[in-house]
A and B are shown apart, each in its own frame.
Chain A
């Protein structure tokens, strides 16, 4: 097992290098390069810019710049924001818990509902329920998240007045868990919709794949009842592609969170990203791109290790 984990970690190294090269290239793609923000400032002369260029090492060859930047990233020095000069990594980590609360709640809810629908659909394939569930999932996948969010705000916050239309807390209620829950309901519902649709489709096909295997027929022949067959034989085998899906869908989850946070004014990393975009805060943008990509690499690594724990064949 340990050697498998070691091999799998080594496989992530080229990915890390690839991600860092693309991130670095993007930074230099910014109009005017990393110094663009200073060139717009009338109080900064050309000599000043030249001096900043030398101080930041931007006069050095590209590969030296890359190595310096990459070692900075590795040691947690992700640069500083243009406005306020705060460390980028700190600013991102500050927003992390809000995003993870939103993504975690939506993902748990989506997996719970999606898997249930998927398993029921697989058991009763081509039933009315199954037909409705598969078409419904397709319709849900076609909803633009931001539009669904706006509609949810319109009905539940404006028309019915049941729930707050945005934010994370009412003023002065920062420690009130009930208030937090009330603010969570709509964003979680909106973010969970598409994920639920994806999970119901994958669970359905994963279970259908498993249910026609020989070992399922054998279990049935030896007199095992249907619920026990599903739980003891189908579930562990169907679980593998679903755990892999968890890793594969991480980037989409971040994308969904960005849109959801923007609509609901949720103070997380997605909102930070859009604000940084509007303020041309390139260091934060680059930091966020790198943060999400690194998180995706680690997430996929964890998913693969979990699969190896479930299935000894993978470890070989």
Chain B
């Protein structure tokens, strides 16, 4: 039985799980000002360390400064997802442009760009991230850009491989015969044809960007307090870890859930969009 893309996707339980998770998380982040029961920055030392479910109105408890954990998780998710999406955009645009230019141009251009990719891949990402994050004054945009600019290499390799195969096809020859410019062929003819692998790569990149943001925020070089992100909530929680573990458990669980959602979604999209690309064809 032949199924369309949607049909294949719907028959994939993990993909549907990923899709549902991502959808709920994005909606929660988008509408957090309306859902959050309290101001995430409101201090009240008369209600520090309230345990989850212990007091009405503070369903997930409060932190060391009496701030409502549920509200902070919601607003933190907003920050983490924004950084993740902007970083993904940077990664995909950089990776696609470099992969397209290298693959379509060939020759010296290809060699130089691909050696640059190899070079960037020699550096462990966290090391680069932390050094640059320590040099640049931290802001949401700078964090997202740094993550994006240190993780585009795999995308450019995927795009280049696709282009090498596509550029030998007749429609490219036809476009050239019609007098289309190189840029037109690259961005109007070739780019739409790699939308599927690019979409898969983009989804998986959100997962790793959210993870990267949590790492650098946890180490103190990402999102800065009082702004909440899941990473820096964990840094704070670490100090009260032996007595109030839920403060550490909750943000970590949110990061895991988000990353898992995007990973399952990306994997499911890969299987649905292009059965050839399945890891176990």
Contact = CB atoms under 8 A, between A and B. Distances in A.
Interface of A: 14-15, 18-19, 22, 26, 29-31, 125, 135, 138-139, 141-147, 150-151, 153-154, 158, 201, 204-205, 208, 251-252, 254-255, 258-259, 262, 273-274, 277-278, 280, 285, 288-289, 292-293, 296-297
A289 B119 contact: no
Given A254-B127, A277-B131, A135 B214 contact: no
B196 interface: no
Interface string B117-143: 011111111111011101100000000
A26 B136 CA distance: 12
B205 to A, nearest CB: 14
Contact of B248 (A30, A150, A273, A297): A150
B124 A255 contact: yes
B75 interface: no
Given A135-B14, A147-B248, A150-B234, A18 B279 contact: no
B207 A19 contact: no
A135 B260 CA distance: 10
25 contacts: A15-B119, A18-B118, A26-B132, A31-B135, A139-B256, A139-B260, A144-B215, A144-B218, A144-B252, A146-B218, A146-B234, A147-B255, A147-B256, A158-B241, A251-B123, A252-B124, A254-B126, A255-B126, A258-B127, A273-B127, A285-B131, A288-B127, A289-B127, A289-B128, A297-B122
A251 B134 contact: no
B215 A259 contact: yes
Interface in B169-223: 207, 211, 214-215, 218-221
A58 B276 CA distance: 55
Interface in B239-263: 241-242, 245, 248-249, 251-252, 255-256, 259-260, 263
Contact of B215 (A143, A146, A280, A285): A146
B280 A205 contact: yes
Nearest to B207: A142
Interface residues of B, number: 45
A15 B122 contact: yes
A168 B67 CA distance: 36
A262 to B, nearest CB: 7
Nearest to A278: B220
A142 B123 CA distance: 22
A313 to B, nearest CB: 21
Contacts of A141: 259, 263
B116 interface: yes
B234 A147 contact: yes
B115 interface: yes
B137 to A, nearest CB: 9
Nearest to B121: A251
A121 to B, nearest CB: 9
A79 B175 CA distance: 56
Contact of B260 (A22, A142, A252, A274): A142
Contacts of A19: 119, 122-123
A258 B126 contact: yes
B123 A144 contact: no
A144 B264 contact: no
Contacts of B249: 151
A255 B125 contact: yes
A259 B211 CA distance: 12
A292 B115 contact: no
B238 interface: yes
Given A19-B119, A251-B122, A142 B131 contact: no
B68 interface: no
B267 interface: yes
Nearest to A294: B122
Contacts of B241: 150, 153-154, 158
Contacts of B116: 18
B193 to A, nearest CB: 25
Contacts of B238: 150
Contact of A22 (B119, B220, B248, B280): B119
A292 B127 contact: yes
A139 B218 CA distance: 21
B80 to A, nearest CB: 11
Nearest to B128: A289
Contacts of B14: 135, 138
The 6 A-B residue pairs whose C-beta atoms are closest, nearest first, are A18-B119, A147-B252, A142-B260, A255-B126, A142-B259, A254-B124
Given A144-B218, A297-B122, 5 more contacts: A22-B123, A138-B263, A158-B242, A254-B127, A296-B121
A144 B135 contact: no
A296 B120 CA distance: 11
A295 to B, nearest CB: 9
A73 B12 CA distance: 52
